[in-house]
Structure 1
């Protein structure tokens, strides 16, 4: 405990740096804020969940009714996974997360707004490197080469601002084509980005998928008193 308004809930050295989960009371907004940091860099905050929620909504929207099998790349605070589970069409959800501690936060119930995610019978939390899984045997350790109806990805800041240099190869036409091969015909790949729409990445998407669109997602920013935006890319595999 670092004071009445601040508590570090968990922290651990990882191969990519010191990752930590902290909770603080915002004296101006009068809310509890949960934040994830990697070393001194903020990765995510419960103040800004809109685009993470829209990642799931926009990613699943193009799909027809049915029993959907979905992958979420990056667990984080759980907003994308929770939103996917709120869709009655979702039959199974695999969440691929490279850091065991992040999975443990959810299993220990440290994030009250994500309650039920880890216990939902449709959910499977898989500790693995998402990008290595694309290159290797896929996202389901028990069923190599299994295909999915949707893959929703929120790991790097953007296709240009990656957490590790080795991730950059995924955002090329070749890497995206490999991801498309993990989808059922007509399946969807959706990606969260902190940057504005990127024409170069859009061109790479159109080489790997039949259609692609960049959605600008606005949300109120209580820190600035104004509005901020993220981008959600939605690409669809050929039917």
Structure 2
């Protein structure tokens, strides 16, 4: 059995100290990896259903192959890993504000080791997703104004519970409309949420996109005798050609 607790790394960032830790849960007989920002839990390897669903639902809404996908927020990498599991994906760009998080993937400190960093389709980019979304050039310094088939975002807890103030103007009709400059016709934007679907958020997306809908993601919590929790993925589609 591994050690009961280990802090794998701790580093300052522009929005506070971030840490990666591993805990062994005796009742489950497994190791759990967690990312914390200060004392706030950002992600756990024990709960990944909705992160995976963000990728699967986003790509299910697309037709064709040789897809170019952008993910905002790296974390432990489960959304990115699920994107790369689709053979229709040609390229994946992952943008994360926190340099230590990207380094953990390059050094193999996370559960999937260096799988993302080693995949030739995947590029890990350190940057402010929301600042890039509001910029003229967009997300690819080598190809300004590059467009993607899907932009999948897992950064804030919900569009109403923000990780930090940098995203405040994004969850508006203006912000959601503006990011579509970097989306191919018929492409989709996906938003992860820690809570069950809310009509107000879907209605907001409908003010910016040609079509918008919410998908509930239901999973059992093994730490609470299988009690079910509901999170959600919101999707908005840009008008087609």
Q: TM-score range by the shorter chain?
A: over 0.9
Helix, strand or coil for the counterpart of 1:118?
helix
CA distance in 1, matches of 2:218, 2:20: 25
The number of residue pairs the alignment matches comes to 237
TM-score between the two structures when normalised by the length of structure 2 = 0.96
CA distance in 2, matches of 1:49, 1:36: 13
Kindly state the Cα deviation for residue 59 of structure 1 after the two structures are TM-superposed: 0.4
Helix, strand or coil for the counterpart of 1:69?
strand
Q: 1:25·1:32 contact (CA, 8 Å) conserved in 2?
A: yes
CA distance in 2, matches of 1:90, 1:65: 10
Helix, strand or coil for the counterpart of 1:44?
strand
CA RMSD of aligned residues (A): 1.2
Kindly state the Cα deviation for residue 113 of structure 1 after the two structures are TM-superposed: 2.6
Kindly state the Cα deviation for residue 199 of structure 1 after the two structures are TM-superposed: 2.3
Residue 209, structure 1, aligned to residue 213, structure 2? no
Map 1:63-212 onto structure 2 (within 5 A): 63-113=62-112, 115-136=114-135, 137-212=137-212
CA distance in 2, matches of 1:138, 1:201: 24
TM-score between the two structures when normalised by the length of structure 1 = 0.96
- Please list the CA deviations of residues 88-135 of structure 1 after superposition, one character each: whole Å capped at 9, or x if unmatched: 010000000111100000000111335411110011111110000001
Residue 238, structure 1, aligned to residue 239, structure 2? yes
In structure 2, list runs of 5 or more residues that go unmatched. none
In structure 1, list runs of 5 or more residues that go unmatched. none
Kindly state the Cα deviation for residue 198 of structure 1 after the two structures are TM-superposed: 2.3
Q: 1:202·1:212 contact (CA, 8 Å) conserved in 2?
A: yes
Give 2:219's aligned residue. Answer: 219
